[in-house]
Chain A
Amino acid sequence: MKDELKKRLVKGPDGVEFEVDPLRDYYCDARPQVEPPAVSKIVEDFFNWARSESLWILGFATGCGAIEMRPLMTPRFDAYRFGVQWRPTPRQSNLFIISGYLSTKTLKRVIRSYEQMQSPKYVMGLGSCTINGGMYWDSYNTIKRLDDYLPVDVYVAGCMPRPESLLAGFEELKRIIREGKGEGANKYAAQFDRYKANQKQVIHDWDMPDYNW
C-alpha cells in the first residue's frame, strides 16, 4: 500500500494533532445494494424508455477503440440525434464504453469509475479485446474477458468496429433497456463477491476500499 494511504497523525496549522485514515475518511465502503425497480410496471416502463432515449456516455477511453467514438460527435455520424451524449464525470453518466483492450492498471480506474456511476448503469464492450482478449490474448497485462470483472450489457465485435457498428450497438442497447433487461448494476450488487474475487485476482496492488460508491 502507498504511504499516503496509510493511517497517520497529521499536525494542523493551528497546532492540533489529528488522525487521518484516507481509506476510511475519503471513501464510503458500504456494499452496493440491489435496487428494486419502480413498483408500478407502467412507471418502470416509462423510466426505461427515458433511460434508453437518453444514454449519457462516460468520456473514459481505455484503448484504441476510443478513436472510433470521436467521429460519432462530428457531423458525419452525429450520435446526438439518437439521444446519445458524452458526459465528463462518472456521476452523471449511465453508459460505460470499454473501448478496446483493457490493461490491469486501467482496470483499477475503470472499477472506481464504474462504482461511482449511479444505478441503473450499463457497460458496453467495444471490440474483440473485451470478448476474448483479441490480439492481446496472450498479453501479460491485459484482461481477457471483460464480463468476469464488470457486468457487460452489450458487445460490439470487430477489430476495430467502425462508428456504424457502434451506432448499431446503441440501438441494440436501447432495445435491451426498453425490455427491462438492462439490470447490470443489480447483477453487480447481487454477485458482488464473485466480481471482487475476480478483480483482486488480476489487480495485485489493491489499495482502495472494496466499494467506493
Chain B
Amino acid sequence: MQFDWMKIPYSLLTLFIVINFGYLLNSFIAKIAARVGRRRGIPIWQTYIDVVKNYGLRTSITHGVMFYLGPVFRLSGGVGLLLFVPSIYGSYLFSNLSFAGDLILALYFVFFGTLGMALGAAESGHPYSAIGITRGLSQVTAAELPFALAIFSVALQYQTLSVTDIVAAQQGGILHWTLFTNPLAVVAAMLSFLGSMMRPPFDVVLAPQEIPIGPPTEYHSSYLALMQTNRAIFPIAKIVIYMNLFFGGATNWPVFFLKVFLIYMWSVFVGVAFPRFRVDQSIRWFLIWAVPIGVLSIVLV
C-alpha cells in the first residue's frame, strides 16, 4: 500500500484549524448558555487565557503513571477521531488519514478517551473521581448503544464501512442526506449524541455542585490544560462524524463551521431547557427511547 506522506502536514493543518475553532466555539456556547441565564458570560477569548494559565502554572504533582497517561489517552482519543475521518469531502488537503474501514475505527475512538480517563482518574484516588467514573462509564455505554445501532444501520444502507463513500452517496441535494433516506437511524443517533456531550440533562458525570466536577477533580495545571485542549477537539471530532454520516458532510470550511455549530446547538438547546437526570434515569431513558428506534432502523433497512 502506498502511503502519501504529504497527508501528515495537511492533517496537522486540519487539527490546528479545529483546535482554534473548538476554543472559540466553546466560549461562544458558554456565552449562549450565560445569555439564557441573563448574564453576559465569559469573554470570547477566555478559553485561550485559561489554557495558557494552566500551562503556565509552576507546580504540578502526580499520583502515578496512569495519572499522567489519563489526559494523554483522552487527547489521543480526540485527535485520533478527528484524523481518521475526512473533515472536508472531496478535498485532498483535508481528507486526513481516512481509509476504507474508518467507520469501525471511529466507533472505537469515541470510547477510547473515556476509558483512558477512567484509568487515570481512578489512580488519583479521590472518591469523587471514582463516583464520576462509575457514572460516566455506565452512561456512555448506554448512550453508545443507539449510536452503534445507527452506524450499523447506515453501513447496511450504503453497503460500506468507509466514511468517504457514505458522504459521497449523500451528495446532490438535501434530500439525499441520511436524515431523509434513513430518518430513524438519525433520530437514534441524535438522542445518543445528547448523552455524550456532557450537557444537561446528561451531565451527571461531571455534576457540578454535586460531586465537584467528578473524574477531573484531582487534575490540575498541565494535565488540566491537556484535557481542556481535548474539550475543544473531541466534541468537534464527534460532530464531524455525525455530519459525515447523517447530514451530507461538508465540501468547504464555511459549510463545515455552520453544520458543526448547528449540530452542537442541538445539545445546547436541550441542555438549557431540561434539568439533570440521575444516572439510573438517564440509562433507562436511553434504553427505553433511543435503543428501540435504533433497532427499528436496522430492521427497516
Task: List residues of chain A with CB within 8 A of the CB of B40.
Answer: 78, 80-81
Q: Does B203 contact A (CB under 8 A)?
A: no
Contact (Cβ within 8 A) A51 B53: yes
CA distance A119 to B58 in the complex (A): 6
Nearest-Cβ distance from residue B154 to partner chain A, whole angstroms: 40
Contact (Cβ within 8 A) A89 B58: no
Q: Does A92 contact B (CB under 8 A)?
A: yes
Task: List residues of chain B with CB within 8 A of the CB of A38.
Answer: 56
Q: Does B59 contact A (CB under 8 A)?
A: yes
**Residues 213-263 of B at the A interface (beta carbon under 8 Å):** 213, 216-221, 224
With A83-B43, A213-B61 known as contacts, the answer to whether A75 contacts B49 (CB < 8 A) is no
Task: List residues of chain B with CB within 8 A of the CB of A53.
Answer: 46, 49, 53
Contact (Cβ within 8 A) A50 B56: yes
CA distance A74 to B216 in the complex (A): 25
Q: Does B41 contact A (CB under 8 A)?
A: yes
Contact (Cβ within 8 A) B59 A118: yes
CA distance A51 to B59 in the complex (A): 14
Q: Which residue of B lies closest to A44 (CB)?
A: B56
Q: Does A120 contact B (CB under 8 A)?
A: yes
Task: List residues of chain B with CB within 8 A of the CB of A88.
Answer: 208-209, 212-213, 217
**Residues 142-162 of B at the A interface (beta carbon under 8 Å):** none
CA distance A94 to B60 in the complex (A): 13
CA distance A85 to B42 in the complex (A): 9
CA distance A54 to B54 in the complex (A): 9
Contact (Cβ within 8 A) B224 A78: no
Contact (Cβ within 8 A) A91 B217: yes
The interface residues of chain B, by DSSP majority, are classed as loop
Count residues of chain B with CB under 8 A from any CB of chain A. Answer: 30
Nearest-Cβ distance from residue A42 to partner chain B, whole angstroms: 13
Q: Which residue of A lies closest to B56 (CB)?
A: A47
Q: Does A148 contact B (CB under 8 A)?
A: no
Task: List residues of chain A with CB within 8 A of the CB of B224.
Answer: 92
The interface residues of chain A, by DSSP majority, are classed as loop
Contact (Cβ within 8 A) A47 B217: no
Select the stretch in B1-9, B31-39, B87-95, B289-297 that faces chain A: B31-39
With A89-B217, A213-B61 known as contacts, the answer to whether A47 contacts B53 (CB < 8 A) is yes
**Residues 38-89 of A at the B interface (beta carbon under 8 Å):** 38, 46-47, 50-51, 53-54, 59, 74-75, 78, 80-81, 83, 85, 87-89
Contact (Cβ within 8 A) B217 A120: no
Task: List residues of chain A with CB within 8 A of the CB of B42.
Answer: 80-81, 83, 85
Nearest-Cβ distance from residue B38 to partner chain A, whole angstroms: 4
With A75-B39, A80-B42 known as contacts, the answer to whether A119 contacts B59 (CB < 8 A) is yes
Q: Does B52 contact A (CB under 8 A)?
A: yes
CA distance A64 to B32 in the complex (A): 32
- How does the 8 Å CB contact mask read for A4-28 relative to B, with 1 for contact and 0 for none? 0000000000000000000000001
Contact (Cβ within 8 A) A75 B37: yes
Nearest-Cβ distance from residue B202 to partner chain A, whole angstroms: 19
Q: Which residue of B lies closest to A73 (CB)?
A: B39
CA distance A87 to B41 in the complex (A): 16
**Residues 106-121 of A at the B interface (beta carbon under 8 Å):** 118-120
Selected from A50, A78, A87, A119, the residue in CB contact (under 8 A) with B53 is: A50
Sampled A-B contacts (17; CB under 8 Å): A35-B58, A46-B52, A47-B56, A50-B53, A51-B56, A80-B34, A80-B40, A81-B42, A87-B213, A88-B208, A89-B213, A91-B217, A92-B219, A118-B59, A119-B57, A120-B57, A213-B61
Q: Residues on A close to B: CB < 8 A? A: 28, 35, 37-38, 46-47, 50-51, 53-54, 59, 74-75, 78, 80-81, 83, 85, 87-89, 91-92, 94, 118-120, 185, 213
Q: Residues on B close to A: CB < 8 A? A: 34, 37-43, 46, 49-50, 52-53, 56-61, 208-209, 212-213, 216-221, 224
| A-B pairs with lowest CB-CB distance, top 6 | A88-B212, A47-B56, A91-B220, A35-B58, A50-B52, A50-B53
